[in-house]
Amino acid sequence: MRVIVVGAGILGASAAYHLARGGAEVVILDPMLEGRATAAGAGIVCPWSSRVTDADWYRLSGGGARDYPALVAQLAEDGETDLGYRRVGALCIAGEEAGLEETEARIRARLPAAPEAGTLSRLAPEEARALFPPLRPGEPALHLSGAARVDGRLLAAALLRAAQRHGAVAHRDVVTGLATEAGRVCGAWVGGRLFGGDAVLLAAGAWAPPLLAPLGIDLAVQPQRGQILHLLLPGQQTRDWPVLLPMSSHYLLAFDDSRIVVGATREVGSGFDHRLTAGGVMQVLRQALGVAPGLETATLHEMRIGMRPMGPDLKPLLGPVPGVEGLVIGNGLGAGGLTMGPYAGRLLAQHLLQGGADIPLAPYDPLRR
């Protein structure tokens, strides 16, 4: 089977990897445009504290968290270990919309079916600050031991390298259209060159709708700009600091290189305006320093900007397109891309290789509105 994968963000890269590992002939087409969501995403893996109650969303998000250790082990077998993945736990503090009691009840209700979430405990303010030193004094917290973080750029790159070790071929080209024959999608055009295949997996994020419009398909996806700030704390060992949440849509997490990630804006109607804005920086810093004043002396290192592909609701758009043979869509991951994207890619690879996936894809109908 020959599959053309259009888009090599976290979902497309994962699908390409699992397809190639499963014996498919894989061609990956992605120009690596500025503003790709995967390249900017924070990388929090902690679905158990989410206020989202939709069962289908949670099935995919929780499955993504559960699948990470297996994916990490698979990639290690293929020589890829630099993923930025670590189980560091999470600190949940009282936010604007919910107190600790509500958050604790929500997590405890999910723990029996999610042993990978680890253990939940209450921490006094001094215990919380011992784990995340910049935290403001007097802030009690919940600690969930199974939460993790991952570097999206490193993970996506590792998946692509591993896919190519299994025979996949990658091209950094802009796809200009999808090819059809007798009502079936049979490949993708790059200028005047046709890359033909038995199926096309379209995982082009917010850039996908124009490729589908000539087929009469109106994909309900639009870009949402997210501005995410990276700070440095030179000389501080931050690799084991837990993820800090929730703060409305904001969060803090640390990586191995004395780097703290602070995010994020959620700018609806932004289009593809890939700019760092004064308002975005102010919003992110105000939220961060209000909760973690110990970051006031940190170095402003980098601002990453990503265009999240937002669907008509919180659930991703995944699966075959009804009435269009040969076309499979993976899109609409929104802000949860690095939690569920690798798992969603595995599921779509299963569908293409086996005709079915570990969970039903019907609830994620890519044409729903």
Tell me: the pLDDT tens digits for 277-300?
999 999 999 999 999 999 999 999
Q: What is the pLDDT of residue 178?
A: 98
Entry pTM: 0.96
Number of helical (H) and strand (E) elements in the chain, helices listed first: 9, 21
User: What's the mean pLDDT when you consider all of the chain?
Assistant: 95
Q: How far is CA 59 from CA 62, 64, 185, 220, in A?
A: 5, 8, 30, 22
Q: What is the pLDDT of residue 247?
A: 62
Distance, in Å, from the CA atom of 213 to the CA atom of 47, rounded to the nearest integer, reads 34
Instruction: Please name each of the domains of the chain with its CATH number.
Output: 2-39+153-221+313-364 (3.50.50.60), 88-147+222-310 (3.30.9.10)
How confident is the model over 17-36, as a mean pLDDT?
95
Percent of the chain with pLDDT over 90: 93
How confident is the model over 200-207, as a mean pLDDT?
97
pLDDT in tens, 140-152: 999 999 999 999 9
pLDDT in tens, 154-174: 999 999 999 999 999 999 999
pLDDT in tens, 297-348: 999 999 999 999 999 999 999 999 999 999 999 999 999 999 999 999 999 9
The pLDDT confidence band at residue 35, using thresholds 50, 70 and 90, is: confident
Q: What is the pLDDT of residue 149?
A: 98
Distance, in Å, from the CA atom of 295 to the CA atom of 270, rounded to the nearest integer, reads 29
pLDDT in tens, 221-256: 999 999 999 999 999 999 999 999 976 668 999 999
Query: Exposed/middle/buried for 282, CB within 10 Å: 0-12, 13-18, 19+?
Result: exposed
How confident is the model over 26-48, as a mean pLDDT?
93
pLDDT in tens, 76-93: 999 999 999 999 999 999
On the question of pLDDT at 34 being above 90, the answer is no
How confident is the model over 8-15, as a mean pLDDT?
98
Nearest in space to 12 (alpha carbons), one of 24, 29, 25, 35: 29
Greater confidence (11 vs 246) lies with 11
Q: Which of 30-44, 59-73, 220-234 has the lowest mean pLDDT?
A: 30-44
- Token pair, residue 234, equals 């030179």
Q: What share of the chain is helix, strand, coil (3-state, %, to 5)?
A: 35, 25, 35
Q: What is the pLDDT of residue 130?
A: 98
